[in-house]
Amino acid sequence: MKAVAIKKGQTRERAPAFKEMGTFRCDGCGEEFIIFQDSTCVDKKAAERQVLWLEKVLAEEHERERKHPDRIQLPD
């Protein structure tokens, strides 16, 4: 696992050995997710792509009337 989005406010919000890259707010419900990347392979450009990917995934979940999971594995 190289990158993960964790819903803000979760008790397991911290990801050991991971670097916080930023926060993303879902347009549909306002829930916030913190983007973490493995600290050994931090990539700002990859984080930008991951945010775009996460935005699509969260929008699809709203279309399907599904709740967001606490943790979402992000693509590399």
Per-residue model confidence as pLDDT tens for the chain (76 residues): 699 999 998 756 566 788 999 999 999 999 999 999 999 989 999 999 999 999 999 999 999 999 999 999 999 8
Q: What's the total number of domains in the chain?
A: 1
Distance CA 55, CA 14 (A): 21
Parallel, antiparallel, or unpaired for β 18-25 and 3-7?
unpaired
Instruction: Give the model's pLDDT for residue 71.
Output: 93
Parallel, antiparallel, or unpaired for β 71-73 and 3-7?
antiparallel
Residue 16 three-state SS = coil
Q: Which domain holds residue 57?
A: 3-73
